[in-house]
């Protein structure tokens, strides 16, 4: 079993990842700004903190075997109009901390349409995405580039459109551009993939798309 740091652990994919990692027998350090909503478990260490704070992130990474970052933002009316650096800045801080502590395994959730996976989206889908989340995806593109150049044992996870349905364990993991498809996937199944890959190497250096 591994010691896993989950960043962005209080909601969405991060919270589900914490739950499944604990169920799988891992020890989990759960980092989020607010940790009161996290479950109570002897193997869980709530770790309040800002993912862009170098000191706090370094403390969080210390002693871990792997890191899963599943940061997200709440979409607000002003989201399309305000630049964000949350994803790139937190990734810069995280990579530095992981190298300093000798932690190599990194799994990072971005999204379908990031980087070269934009080719999957139609022009209408790209326009709709950029109207709502343009600044977010521009920063996620930078995040992906930083991870690829990090020298760590990374896997970038690009889920398709997210739902709140239960885990099924039945989803496609598409690594080849020719096979990429848009679609749906539950947050619980994204978490399933993240937890199963913590101690595996088959997708190291890969950026698979996940969808049903």
3-state helix, strand, coil in the chain (%, to 5): 40, 20, 40
Residue 146 to residue 26: CA distance in whole angstroms = 28
Question: Is 0.85 topped by the overall pTM?
Answer: yes
- What is residue 81's predicted lDDT score, i.e. its pLDDT? 67
Tens-of-pLDDT digits for all 212 residues of the chain? 999 999 999 999 999 999 999 999 999 999 999 999 898 999 999 999 999 999 999 999 999 999 999 998 876 766 666 789 999 999 999 999 999 999 999 999 999 999 998 888 778 777 777 776 778 889 999 999 999 999 999 999 999 999 999 999 999 999 988 888 889 999 999 999 999 999 999 999 999 999 99
Q: Dihedral of CA 24/144/34/10: which sign?
A: negative
Find out whether 106 and 42 touch, Cβ atoms under 8 Å: no
- Burial classification of residue 8, based on how many CB atoms lie within 10 Å of its CB (0-12 exposed, 13-18 middle, 19 or more buried): buried
Taking alpha carbons only, the member of 171, 204, 207, 209 closest to residue 188 is 171
- What is residue 74's predicted lDDT score, i.e. its pLDDT? 78
The total number of structural domains that make up the chain: 1
- Read off φ and ψ for residue 102, nearest 5 degrees: 70, 30
15: domain CATH number is 3.40.50.720
Domain residue limits at 203 = 3-211
- What is residue 32's predicted lDDT score, i.e. its pLDDT? 96
- What is residue 3's predicted lDDT score, i.e. its pLDDT? 98
């Amino acid at each position: 079993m591994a010691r896993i740091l989950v960043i962005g652990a209080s909601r969405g994919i991060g919270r589900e990842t914490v739950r499944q990692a604990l169920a799988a027998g891992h020890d989990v350090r759960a980092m989020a700004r607010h940790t009161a909503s996290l479950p109570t478990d002897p193997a869980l260490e709530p770790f309040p903190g800002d993912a862009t704070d170098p000191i706090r992130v370094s403390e969080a990474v210390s002693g871990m075997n792997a890191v899963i970052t599943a940061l997200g933002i709440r979409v607000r009316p002003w989201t399309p109009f305000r630049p964000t650096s949350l994803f790139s800045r937190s990734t810069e801080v995280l990579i530095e901390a992981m190298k300093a502590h000798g932690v190599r395994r990194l799994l990072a959730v971005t999204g379908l349409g990031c980087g070269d996976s934009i080719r999957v989206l139609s022009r209408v889908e790209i326009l709709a995405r950029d109207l709502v989340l343009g600044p977010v995806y521009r920063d996620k593109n930078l995040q992906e580039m930083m991870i690829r150049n990090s020298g760590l044992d990374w896997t970038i996870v690009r889920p398709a459109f997210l739902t709140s349905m239960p885990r099924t364990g039945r989803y496609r993991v598409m690594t080849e551009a020719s096979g990429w498809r848009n679609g749906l996937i539950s947050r619980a199944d994204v978490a399933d993939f993240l937890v199963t890959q913590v101690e595996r190497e088959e997708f190291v250096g890969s950026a698979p798309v996940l969808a049903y």
